[in-house]
Amino acid sequence: MSLGLLQRFLLIAGVFALAACGGRETLQSSRSGDNMTSQSARQCLAGLKSKSVRFAGLPNKSFDGGCRMIDTIKLMDFGTPTTNLGAMTCPLASSFTDWARYGVAPAAKHYLGSEVVKIETMGTFNCRAVNGSRSGKLSEHAFANAVDVSAFVLRDGRRISVLNGWRGSSAEQAFLRRLHQSACKRFGTVLGPEYNAAHANHFHFDMAKSTSNGTAYCR
């Protein structure tokens, strides 16, 4: 196989590996992060660059059922290693970066006396309806506009999970509640263990605000 054919094969394989749902997909374009389709997305990327955030632009995709990834990126490096981050809209990536830097980092030092060296998530894009159902209103995950955060690993070896820490020691409770409050200032919707049993083990963050008055929905 020639070098050109090998490069083309690897590119196509990488594109299909990004799909996170079983529906048929339509690949619209493959481009760098400097070639977003909307002006707002380009402005957002400029903001990320000014924050010294490394990212990669992803191809636009549409899936059966209405799921889609439009003007999305993959965060490569924003200061804190984070697991399972896939496609994200730029506003989500920007808010997540700010939350990690200005919410998580200082809270860990204040309440736990250590530094967060890893954030664990359950992922971003997922072609499904709200609450994981197969029908009904699509989740913001279906548009790469949401992320679920499950735990934090500290430099001293401790792992603070939402599942155990929310009712854990006083320091763990204070830390996680501070992160929840900080997220409410940066995301459109924030859901945690107090919302329902389905969120007992993670924080859900997305950029969609309340449809009734356009303000953040924080529970």
Q: What residues in the chain have per-residue pLDDT under 70?
A: 1-35, 132-135, 210-212
> What pLDDT sits at residue 11?
39
Taking the domains of the chain in order of start, what are their residue ranges? 3-218
* CA–CA distance, 147 with 207 (Å, rounded to integer): 10
> What pLDDT sits at residue 35?
58
> What pLDDT sits at residue 6?
40
Asked if residues 145 and 125 have their Cβ atoms less than 8 Å apart, the reply is no
How far is Cα of residue 57 from the mean position of the Cα atoms in its chain?
Answer: 15
How far is Cα of residue 51 from the mean position of the Cα atoms in its chain?
Answer: 17
Q: What angle do CA 50, 185, 128 make, to 5 degrees?
A: 90
Asked if residues 80 and 115 have their Cβ atoms less than 8 Å apart, the reply is no
Paired strand residues for 203: 149
| Residues ≥6 apart with Cβ < 8 Å to 46 | none
**Global pTM?**
0.83
Residue in 137, 147, 150, 214 with CA at minimum distance from that of residue 176: 150
Burial of 113 (0-12, 13-18, 19+ CB in 10 A): exposed
